[in-house]
Amino acid sequence: MDFISKILFIPEKPAKTIPVKALTYVSKDTPPVFIYTEFNSPIKKNDVLIKVNAAALNPIDLQLMHSPLSVTAPGKKGLGRDFCGVIEEVGVNQQGKWAVGDRVCGMFIHLAGQGSIATYVTLNPDTDRIIKAPPNLTDEEAAAFPLSFGAAIRSLRYTTLDPNSWVLILGGNTATGHYAIQLAKNYFNVAKVVVTASSKNESFLRELGADIVVDYKKNANLVEALKYVIADNQDPTNGDFTYGTSETDTNPQKFQIIFDCVGGTEVLFKATELLNPKAMGSVFVTIVGDSMTTSSQLGGPGAYLYHPSMIGRRLLSSAGINGLNYVVESVSPGDWLNESYEILLNGTVRVIIDSVYEWDKWKEAFSKLESRKVRGKIVLHISD
């Protein structure tokens, strides 16, 4: 019978099926819904089957749902990128690398297909990278870090940082900003971390490692406030400052990197006045783009759709014919995920969680994410 089936191209019946519940959406005009489907077992030879225990929410989930791009990939698309869970089945080519019972975490980078807000996911660990979850992290913490941590460490690596370096993070109270502050101060051991944020978050951000917090709400001219910081090495106070008042600091320290986590062009268009010379490898990195981050527009390379000038700026930078090293970061798998294990295990960086919801309360969780009144990641606890 097997011989006849192969000749007639009759697919073999799976030995069993695994029921799967997943949160999905179709387009920006239809609300997300739970669907019920099945995975076949045995799974594909290069895959592992993971029972998901926790999944984190990210702004990109809202952006993809609301973006016109949602209609370019027909059918149901999964929500969620980060996750933590336990391996329940290992494909034949992954045996010896992974084992049933391994507690793992990682992320999806696909814009369509399955998401992590599901009872089970299948993936190829060679392309969708996973690691064993650090044992000192809860499931929720292990699910919360990959995407934001990856954006932060990859962005900081676009330049060379040393104990004399100054780092500017625009949007210090974003989830990615939290990791960037801690990595810059505790892992790259830079001299000074300056962040922009509301003053109500100042004590928390200083606790994470920020040296100077510039309140973007109180300083109408943010660039002048930042010039004051690098000239006089102190906080501007409520916008009441005089730039360059220091008589001794005739050659002010400038930033080696400006890492933009919120978007916009106010600082970008004056970046060369704040950065070290381009020849020193200084860089402006954005994970958002020319518009301030919203729930309806994609950030990173997705912002090219709304701002074609970003493409020109990137090309000019790559060709070396402007005065700015300009990078639009998009997180992709890499060795940084393996590196994160030791960083998190050693407590060099801690995971900040705003709140945890049962996954049947996903509407409330997404509403809070959209409100932007969040400190850290929102995580869903996944149950059968």
CATH of the domain at 211: 3.40.50.720
pLDDT value at residue 245: 44
Low-confidence ranges of the chain (pLDDT < 70): 1-14, 68-73, 233-234, 237-251, 295-301, 303-305
- Judge whether 300 and 329 are in contact, CB under 8 Å: yes
pLDDT value at residue 29: 74
pLDDT value at residue 241: 53
Q: How buried is 260 (Cβ within 10 angstroms: 0-12 exposed, 13-18 middle, 19+ buried)? A: buried
Q: 380 Cβ partners below 8 Å, 6+ apart?
A: 54, 55, 56, 57, 80, 117, 356, 357, 358, 359, 361, 362, 365
CATH of the domain at 342: 3.90.180.10
Q: Which of 308, 328, 348 is the endpoint of a domain?
A: 328
pLDDT value at residue 65: 83
One domain, residues 299 and 339: no
One domain, residues 228 and 186: yes
pLDDT tens digit string along 121-167? Answer: 999 999 888 999 999 999 999 999 999 999 999 999 999 999 999 99
pLDDT value at residue 246: 43
pLDDT value at residue 244: 44
Whether 4 is in a domain gets the answer no
One domain, residues 255 and 175: yes
pLDDT value at residue 8: 58
pLDDT tens digit string along 238-290? Answer: 555 544 444 444 557 899 999 999 999 999 999 999 999 999 999 999 999 87
Q: Is the peptide bond before 31 cis (omega within 30 degrees of 0)?
A: no
Whether 10 is in a domain gets the answer no
Whether 8 is in a domain gets the answer no
Q: How buried is 320 (Cβ within 10 angstroms: 0-12 exposed, 13-18 middle, 19+ buried)? A: exposed
One domain, residues 319 and 175: yes
pLDDT value at residue 247: 45
Distance, in Å, from the CA atom of 224 to the CA atom of 229, rounded to the nearest integer, reads 9
pLDDT value at residue 308: 82
Task: Note down the domain range covering 361.
Answer: 16-146+334-381
Q: What total of structural domains would you count in the chain?
A: 2
Q: Are strands 77-78 and 16-25 parallel, antiparallel or unpaired?
A: antiparallel
